[in-house]
Amino acid sequence: MAAVTAISPNISGCVKVELANITARGNFGSIQPVLEKYETGLLLLLGFAGISVILALLHRLVRKHVYNDANNVDTAFDAGGRVSTSLTAVTVASQFLWPGDILQSSTITVKSGISGPLWYTVGAALNIALFPIVSVYLKTRAPGAKTYLQIMKARYGKPAHVIFVILALLVNLCVVSTLIVAGVATFQSYTVDASNEFCVMIIAVLFGSYSFIGGLGTTFYVSYFNAVLIFGILIALNVKILYSPDSDSGVGSIDKIYEKMQCLIAPEGNAERSYFTFKSENGLVWAFMGLCVTASLTYCDQAAWQSRIAAKPLQGVLGFLIAAYIWFAIPISISTSAGLAYLSMALDNSSTSVLSPADVDEGLITPFMTERLLGDVGGVLIVTMIAMTLMSTGSGEVMAVSSIIVYDIYQVYINPFRKSHNPEDCILCNKKLAEPKQEDQTVICTCPNVLTCQECKTDEEINSKEGLTYIGQYRCQYHGRYRQYQERMLMYKSWCILWVTIAIVPLGLAVIASGVDLNWVMMNGFIVTLPCFPPVVLSIFWSKTSRAGVISGALFGIVCGVSVALGVASTYEGGLNNFLENTVQNNSVMAGAGTSIGVSFLVTLLVSCGTHNIKSESDVKREWLKLRDIDNPLHPWSQLYVEDIPGLQKGDKPSVEQLDKVFKKARILAYVGGAFTAVLFVGIVPAVMLSLHVLTMREFEVWTHVLQIFCFSMAAVVVVVAPAEEIIQICRQRKENKKEKRRSYLNSYTNDMHLGPK
């Protein structure tokens, strides 16, 4: 304890102690259940799940009667492809807001002080901000792709596709496991005699209820509802902790928290062993971990790509950039206030003011403080907040897994429309697709575009008059059989979502039975999933990425990352016999994560350099055409961009050059916005904070006020801007529909006048 003597004099005159010494006394408090099982069930199932179902039905009505979206497989997984900027931002921020961000971020504060939440959120927000750069290339090079795995199949064939399907599902498994662990811990803390089975059943219903009704599109409306509630509860908690001087709980003002915490000795690695410093070794560790965790989730989780696919390039870029700021405001503000309040109250040395180390690792600090400060109402509020994050993130995962099963498993391996189909051939006639200036056009596809096909129009007229809605009533020689196939896929999609939701129950029980806690799942899951990141990103940016490169990069990354993590863990006391504890040590996690992503990147790069077949510009163009030709012939993606590409005729498909030119503005915005956000989060903010050695009371007060102002500003964006833009967009579409209806009527009237009396 020699380092303690270097601590500056204590302004409050108290005897300084370490939190570990308080915890060692063993007088632990606990969260008191405030809800009976039936009350939790009514609140979550009839309350939030019921409201979500209503919002899902509302979204379905809007898309059907305002935007005239057809009920098909594609719209179920891309929400029509026209989601507004603000709804994209709110949804992305809401889906990235894990229960772990609300729960685990306060744990980070307790373990490292105010530096922990800053560094953790900096690393995470950086990935969210830079993702638009990657996604804008995906949207312009593969605008018809519904999953990023379709890109892997188009470029590298089935062997690589199978490997990355497994990796993608592994990412989803890690995310869902984290959600289950966090959800069960919170629900059991606040519900009397809540069994694991009861909690997992509640979670499964929250995940799948409204997704089953309206598909991906409903998650946008529900995510808005969730974000509003989360910000409301967050603001109420922060006001109670920081701005309620009459509080008798040991907190209530910024000055009181600062003074009391002068009696606590921070962990080793913090400057002057203070909790009020950003110079912290633990904080930097959390920055690296946050960067790795979110890299895995942002670039390897199909749920993130789906939210991006649902918007046009420009709206998607803006949405993701705004989402970085919205997300940043939530974990850093709640963890700073709740975490510091917990440390302040721990000095009371009573059994009601400190949790056991196991409860801290479970992420129960935020629920504990909410109940202590707000009473039974606080218990209901925290259950509400966790339920909201579970619904947003969990529903996205259900849709992500379902889309992978539908597009990348069922349609490719179980029941393909054509077996042994070559991606360069037409799916309808199995003949080679014609391209301008193509030399060999002896046997090429002659199928008409569905938008101009007269036989399809005849089918629609006949079916409309006869009221035929069941499968098998399409006579078009070009598109008829594929229409029947797609209608069967629509039915399969609904069953798929249902079965994925049901599968959460046995998965959740297995995860709980394994004994892993939230901290272990978050820290170790991404070691296995990170190697997917470099091959996916290089496949979108670099035409020379090869099949051998992406396969070897992913596999070597996993093997090396896991091996190094286990090797470092074995050096701690107990070795691998103490598996759960030693594999979550900072050095083990950092070594494993750094090795997995580093080896994956280097192997993918080096092997691709030696095995690619790109020799000329025509080879590059042919490679990117593989991505451009990912399309559904019944719902061509080009129709979505008719208004964006001047001169594009109905049924025509724009070239790669046209797409690059038209969406150049979105690309520039992604680079400029991503660079600015990265400089702000990684450069300016950390530099300013690191310039302050140990914060004085005045500096801490300014920092806290800045966080709260930023949090309130983002709350205003969520609450006001998102619904305003959506309402304006709906009104504009209704106005356009009326104009189109009037034009159709005038054209019909003019034709009748020309024909004259019968």
**662-689 per-position pLDDT tens digit:** 788 888 888 898 889 888 888 888 888 8
If you average pLDDT over every residue of the chain, what do you get? Answer: 79
Task: Tell me: pLDDT of 2 over 60.
Answer: no
pLDDT band at 7 (very low <50, low <70, confident <90, very high): very low
d(CA 359, CA 429): 61
User: Helix %, strand %, coil % for the chain, to 5?
Assistant: 75, 0, 25
d(CA 554, CA 97): 27
Joined together, the tokens standing for residue 678 give: 């990265």
pLDDT band at 754 (very low <50, low <70, confident <90, very high): low
pLDDT band at 8 (very low <50, low <70, confident <90, very high): very low
425 pairs with which residues across the strands? 432
pLDDT single digits (tens) 185-198: 878 887 888 888 88
Average the pLDDT over 358-380 and give the result: 79
pLDDT single digits (tens) 113-144: 888 888 878 877 777 778 888 878 887 888 88
**Distant-in-sequence, close-in-space partners of 554: CB < 8 Å, separation ≥ 6:** 163, 164, 167, 531, 532, 535, 600, 604
191 φ, ψ (degrees, to nearest 5):
-120, 130
Task: Tell me: pLDDT of 600 over 90.
Answer: yes
* Residue pointed to by tokens 């953790």: 120
Name which residue leads in pLDDT, 26 or 333: 333
* Residues 479, 456 contacting (CB under 8 angstroms): yes
Task: Tell me: pLDDT of 608 over 90.
Answer: yes
29 φ, ψ (degrees, to nearest 5):
-90, 180
DSSP state of 31: P
- pLDDT in the model for residue 424: 73
DSSP state of 280: B
pLDDT single digits (tens) 635-644: 787 777 777 7
pLDDT single digits (tens) 51-108: 777 777 777 777 777 766 665 665 655 555 567 777 778 877 777 776 667 777 788 8
Lowest pLDDT segment from 245-259, 456-470, 542-556, 560-574: 456-470
Count of residues making up the chain: 758
d(CA 506, CA 204): 10
- pLDDT in the model for residue 757: 54
d(CA 700, CA 115): 12
> 244-254 burial, b if ≥16 CB within 10 A, otherwise e?
eeebebbbbbb
**Which SS3 state, helix, strand or coil, does residue 22 take?**
helix
DSSP state of 425: B
pLDDT band at 282 (very low <50, low <70, confident <90, very high): confident
- pLDDT in the model for residue 163: 92
**Distant-in-sequence, close-in-space partners of 635: CB < 8 Å, separation ≥ 6:** 70, 72, 74, 75, 450
pLDDT band at 336 (very low <50, low <70, confident <90, very high): confident
Question: Closest by alpha carbon to 661, among 642, 646, 643?
Answer: 646
Lowest pLDDT segment from 518-527, 541-550, 664-673, 720-729: 518-527
Question: Closest by alpha carbon to 695, among 17, 107, 8, 108?
Answer: 8
Name residue 62's amino acid. Answer: V
* Residue pointed to by tokens 């806290």: 704
- pLDDT in the model for residue 329: 85
List domains and CATH numbers for the chain. 87-211+223-416+664-722 (1.20.1730.10), 520-626 (no CATH)
d(CA 630, CA 428): 13
Average the pLDDT over 431-459 and give the result: 70
Burial class (CB in 10 A: 0-12, 13-18, 19+), 461: exposed
* Residue pointed to by tokens 């050695």: 693
Average the pLDDT over 616-645 and give the result: 81
**Distant-in-sequence, close-in-space partners of 202: CB < 8 Å, separation ≥ 6:** 40, 41, 44, 45, 183, 187
* Residues 451, 636 contacting (CB under 8 angstroms): yes
Task: Tell me: pLDDT of 145 over 70.
Answer: yes
Percentage with pLDDT > 90 across the chain: 7
Note the helical H segments in 113-214: 115-141, 148-156, 158-190, 196-214
- pLDDT in the model for residue 161: 92
Gyration radius of the chain over CA positions: 28
**Which SS3 state, helix, strand or coil, does residue 243 take?**
strand
d(CA 641, CA 664): 14
**Which SS3 state, helix, strand or coil, does residue 444 take?**
strand
d(CA 33, CA 188): 8
Cα dihedral: 241, 246, 247, 251 (round 10): 50
Largest Cα separation within the chain, whole Å, is 106
- pLDDT in the model for residue 753: 56
d(CA 522, CA 435): 48
- pLDDT in the model for residue 5: 37
- pLDDT in the model for residue 551: 94
pLDDT single digits (tens) 545-556: 999 999 999 999
d(CA 559, CA 201): 35
pLDDT band at 212 (very low <50, low <70, confident <90, very high): low
**Which SS3 state, helix, strand or coil, does residue 347 take?**
coil
d(CA 296, CA 292): 6
Joined together, the tokens standing for residue 447 give: 């199928």
d(CA 198, CA 41): 9
d(CA 193, CA 63): 43
pLDDT band at 564 (very low <50, low <70, confident <90, very high): very high
Lowest pLDDT segment from 115-124, 518-527, 578-587, 700-709: 518-527
Question: Closest by alpha carbon to 1, among 252, 219, 268?
Answer: 268
The 8 Å CB, 24+ separation contacts for 194-199 are 194/33, 194/37, 194/40, 196/508, 196/509, 196/512, 196/513, 197/505, 197/509, 198/37, 199/508
Name which residue leads in pLDDT, 150 or 752: 150
Cα dihedral: 513, 514, 519, 523 (round 10): -140
d(CA 670, CA 685): 21
d(CA 289, CA 108): 11
Task: Tell me: pLDDT of 508 over 60.
Answer: yes
* Residues 441, 434 contacting (CB under 8 angstroms): yes
270 φ, ψ (degrees, to nearest 5):
-85, 140
